[in-house]
Amino acid sequence: MIELWPIALFLCVIAVLMTGLPVAFVLAGVALIFATLGSWFGVMDMSFVMLLPNRLYGIMVNPTLMAVPLFVLMGVLLEKSRLAESLLDALASVFGRFRAGMAISVVLVGMLLAASTGIVGATVVTLGVLALPSMRKQHYDMKLATGTIAATGTLGQIIPPSIALVLLGDVLSSTYQQVQLDLGNFSPKTVSVGDLFAGAIVPGLLLVIAYLGYILIRGKGQAEASSNSELVTTKRMSVADITFALAPPLALMVVVLGSILSGLATPTEAAGVGAFGAALLAIWRGSMTLSKWQACAMETLLVTSMVFLILFGASLFSAVFYGLGGEEMVKNTLGQLPGGVIGATLLVMVLIFLLGFILDFIEITFVVVPIVAPVLLMMGLDPIWLGIMIAVNLQTSFLTPPFGFALFYLRGVVPDSVATSDIYKGVTPFIIIQLLLLVAMAVWPSLATWLPSQIYG
């Protein structure tokens, strides 16, 4: 009966989350109730809960997590300064003569936005508002148009500097060090956010290339954009105008990511440079008003508060879960699966994929990953490979009907005349592409581990 307590805790959290209550309070509240019941019935090791104040203090002074509000501010500033609109204009001017040129522009702009915002919802909504009206006027097949926008929006999950990778890097770093200590290695190796950023570059670029390849093939049936189109985004721009639109944001992204990968700056320092550079770009473009600056500050505050509140709730949940014997239960379950490490990894990936329908990446990173990652790392999995697999897995989950978050974001901004079935059919080829990438990384782990090994040895 004792082993049923952690299962009941996990299922109760999932059930209460379905009511729509705030995630942070659900995690903390349900955990406290189970801690009280567990102590009454004598099945709860309260030492885990007694250490919670130290864990919360550690979260607040964690230098890696300080990068989160700075990266959020960087992305919000670039979004509010209408950077996406100017990027779409510039790239549409370059590719406007090609079949499916607008779709190609959407993918490239989405890639750049992913490298600046790292927030899936913001990218999907921005692209939906800016690009979909233009694509409708060019008589795009709505399945291709909506599928391209939704899939491209999820690139923020994998292309660095992604907030998801920052949070995953922090969790996997502490988990990996603890696993090595448990194995008797008292000079443990570390895995950093920079490692995950480097590991995500090749898979991220492969996804972008695969998206573009599909669009080019699919675009053979797409009518040419007419030269007298009503679209502002297909007007011809001069080389100087295109350079003016593309060069500053590209330079900022190169500086931020390059400083991390080269070791010149920590993720937090690079995030500070990125936020400062984004503020300078916003001032330079002259499109920011006082109300927009206030909106940027408020949105950054709300997102940061949400992340840290969820982390506090997840810390309490993890403490109670471990106190009820959940860690031992997970270890025994995964260790006894047929297929060994392959079977355990497959089960964990399926579980994370399904949880991605009802939980955001923040909750999964802070609640699920700390539970399953120690066991998988004990089995010898590379932490960088595991982190990238989880990120791509969640990206696929967020795109999969009928519960994918990206689909909900897009449905909220597209006209009612666009059928939901068109959105579902449109994302299906992109889901297949992402699943193929997962299979490729499973067969060739070096897709995720080669670049970090070349950069960091």
CB 145 within 8 A of CB 132: yes
Whole-model pTM: value is 0.84
pLDDT of residue 209 exceeding 90? yes
pLDDT of residue 160 exceeding 90? no
The pLDDT assigned to 433 comes to 94
**Ramachandran region, residue 359 (left: φ > 0; alpha: ψ -120 to 50; beta: rest):** beta
Distance, in Å, from the CA atom of 355 to the CA atom of 352, rounded to the nearest integer, reads 5
What does pLDDT average to over the chain? 82
CB 112 within 8 A of CB 249: yes
Distance, in Å, from the CA atom of 224 to the CA atom of 226, rounded to the nearest integer, reads 6
**Which residue is listed with tokens 């009928």?**
402
Helix axes 163-182, 67-80, angle to 10 degrees: 160
Distance, in Å, from the CA atom of 8 to the CA atom of 383, rounded to the nearest integer, reads 29
CB 65 within 8 A of CB 59: yes
The pLDDT > 90 percentage for the chain reads 15
pLDDT digits (tens, 9 = 90+) for 370-425: 888 888 998 888 999 999 999 999 889 888 887 777 888 888 888 888 888 888 99
Give whole-number Cα distances, 111 to 52, 410, 423, 442, 457, in Å.
Answer: 39, 17, 20, 24, 28
pLDDT of residue 224 exceeding 60? no
Confidence grade of residue 45 (pLDDT, cut at 50, 70, 90):
low
Residue type, 456: Y
pLDDT of residue 229 exceeding 60? no
How many domains, in total, are found in the chain?
1
pLDDT digits (tens, 9 = 90+) for 49-91: 677 777 777 778 888 788 888 888 887 887 787 777 777 778 8
Distance, in Å, from the CA atom of 85 to the CA atom of 277, rounded to the nearest integer, reads 19
pLDDT digits (tens, 9 = 90+) for 270-317: 889 888 988 988 888 777 888 889 988 998 888 888 888 888 888 888
Stretch 197-202: mean pLDDT? 92
Range of the domain at 17: 4-456
pLDDT of residue 232 exceeding 50? no
**Which residue is listed with tokens 């031992």?**
328
The pLDDT assigned to 442 comes to 94
Distance, in Å, from the CA atom of 70 to the CA atom of 276, rounded to the nearest integer, reads 9
